[in-house]
Amino acid sequence: MTDIRIEGAKIVIVGGSSGMGLALARRLLGEGAAVTIAGRSEDKLTAARRNLGEHPKLKTHAVDISREEVAALFRTNGPVDHIVSTAADIEGAYQLLPSIELTAAQRVVESKLYGPLLLAKYGAAHLPPSGSITYTSGVAAYRPAARGSVVAAVNAALEGLVRALAVELAPIRINAVSPGWVDTPIWSFVAGDAKQATLNAMAQRLPAGRVGQPDDIADAIRFLIGNGFTTGTILHVEGGHRLV
């Protein structure tokens, strides 16, 4: 069995200022990793540093991963052992077809497809052969709903990218976690004031009897980082959503 050490590893988390990425950062810091959280908003990065207690092994880097400027993320931080992206800009994307604005759809594509592509383009050269890149897809690729056509399409495209990169960048491991409904701030954009009622209704449907929490997804990403024999894989962490 390949031993992938977390203690002392350098890990970049894009989208780590809230939700699943923040939960992952907390876990990895607790295991002794050096973590860099990257994102577009300096305010959110500052809040993340406070949330994580100004941890001495935590750094932040403001960057838009959907632009070529992502190269500077790796020039600045040097060699890294693992890259994770939980970033998703879905504001305005959950609309019925007649109401979809192209700019909102483009933001989803940029954050969940172009961004991951550029992270691999510029990050792979800074990873060791034992390194990994882990993305975040979503159950919408398998259980699409009305108003979710853009997100479903982009998640499916990202999973195709995972498989292709796992071949092209081998032996670097490329995987994705596909979360189901997880109680994160992103639901404020999806459901607004009906967030809690919407999540409660789904919890009653799911075989697991609840919706996910950020730590559930952090646990899955931690597995993919640490398992040296898993690549080109989509790990479903969705409480049985694909079954109902």
Q: What is the pLDDT of residue 192?
A: 73
Determine the Cα–Cα distance for residues 154 and 233; give it in Å rounded to an integer.
17
Residue owning tokens 């504001």: 91
Q: What is the pLDDT of residue 63?
A: 96
Residue owning tokens 């894009």: 14
Q: Which residues of the chain have pLDDT under 70?
A: 1-3, 188-189
Q: Is the Cβ–Cβ distance between 158 and 115 less than 8 Å?
A: no
Burial of 48 (0-12, 13-18, 19+ CB in 10 A): buried
Q: What is the pLDDT of residue 1?
A: 47
Say whether 84 sits in a helix, a strand or coil.
strand
Q: What is the pLDDT of residue 153?
A: 97
Determine the Cα–Cα distance for residues 70 and 76; give it in Å rounded to an integer.
10
Give helix then strand counts, H and E, for the chain.
9, 7
Q: How far apart are the two ends of the chain, measured CA to CA in Å?
A: 36
The residues, ordered by sequence, that sit 6+ positions from 156 with a Cβ below 8 Å of its Cβ are: 141
Query: From residue 27, how far is each of 32, 39, 202, 234 by CA, in Å?
Result: 9, 19, 27, 21
Q: Is the Cβ–Cβ distance between 182 and 210 less than 8 Å?
A: no
Say whether 133 sits in a helix, a strand or coil.
strand
- CATH of region 10-183+214-236: 3.40.50.720
Where do the domains of the chain lie? 10-183+214-236
